[in-house]
Amino acid sequence: MTPMASDEHARPGHPRRWAIAGLAVALLVGLLVLGVWLIRMGPASPRLFSGNRAYADVLAQMAFGPRVAGTEADTRAGDYIYNQLQQAGWTPEFQAFQYRNTPIRNVIGRANVGKEPIIIVGAHYDSRRRADQDPQHPNDPVPGANDGASGVAVLLELARVLDLKQTPNEVWLAFFDAEDDGDLGDGWDWLVGSGYMAAHLTVQPHAMILLDMVGDADQQFYYEQTSNPALMQQIWTTAASLGYGQYFIQTPRWSMLDDHTPFLTRGIPAVDVIDFDYGPNNGFWHTTQDTADKVSAASLEHVGRTMAAFLQSGVK
């Protein structure tokens, strides 16, 4: 682009100056009309789910350190989740309570409030206080990149990109605290945050989908055998339609006690999307090897795009 030559000899009443002024007014009016049209049309179409943006959320959580329930790192992670939901236009809230003299906070983000029925998609954001499966460092905390941070990252990116106009349900994104400290010999139970949320529901959601350990670079999701079969098939079929059938394998394998269990107990159809084959002989699970280098942006993207398509199509 080159600058226009100036007209040094134009007089105040010169026709050329009036033409330029008229063009400027027309341009301004056009911009105003365009602005009004954009406001009426609403925001631009949401972006596709980005595995790279989700992976950045994994790294952000890891930067807090191990997110052991009740610690400063856990609090900072909860605050981060709340702020990201708010920035994405969702309505977040903390669900705070005490467990064994420890402050616990679930984070719940809501969108499409008033549409029915309600769908919950959840993940836990805490990490295990001791790496009891680690033969060399059993007393160190688990970093929690895949076992915790990966599911949270998918939910946060989903909050940014889900096309709510195309989504026929009210959606809750639930981030559970204090999931991962059972069987350590200190009196703590599993599923503390999800158990509290399920027990204090004042409505009956239509379905609950849990994302747990979803970022493994060697990704393979089998049917989890306590999950609702029809709901599970719908998710796996959605994944196959997107070309992810090699990762979502329609064969039963694991039977898990997980954050979907308290919802199943209340009669809510629930599914556990979990890749429990984490490392050779599951050797990264509950060890100090659960680090960000084991998580793949592509794996996060497979899950995120599947969940976006599943939610936008409407839960059957």
List 119's β-bridge partners, or say none.
171, 207
Q: What is the rounded distance in angstroms from the CA atom of residue 311 to the CA atom of residue 316?
A: 10
**pTM summary value:** 0.86
Nearest to 113 by CA among 209, 203, 234: 203
For residue 111, give Cα distances in angstroms to 58, 97, 164, 172. 23, 23, 8, 7
Task: Classify domain 51-313 by CATH number.
Answer: 3.40.630.10
Give residue limits of the domains in the chain. 51-313
Q: Is 277 helix (H, G, I), strand (E, B) or coil?
A: coil
Per-residue pLDDT tens digits for 85-128 = 999 999 999 999 999 999 999 999 999 999 989 999 999 999 99
Confidence of residue 46 (pLDDT cuts 50, 70, 90): low
List 97's β-bridge partners, or say none.
104
Residue 1, H or E segment: none
Residue 206 class from Cβ within 10 Å (0-12 exposed, 13-18 middle, 19+ buried)? Answer: middle
Q: How many CA atoms lie within 13 A of 33 on its CB side?
A: 6
With tokens 């920035």, the residue in question is 87
Other beta carbons within 10 angstroms of residue 29's beta carbon come to: 10
Per-residue pLDDT tens digits for 184-228 = 999 999 999 999 999 999 999 999 999 999 999 999 999 999 999
Q: Is 286 helix (H, G, I), strand (E, B) or coil?
A: coil
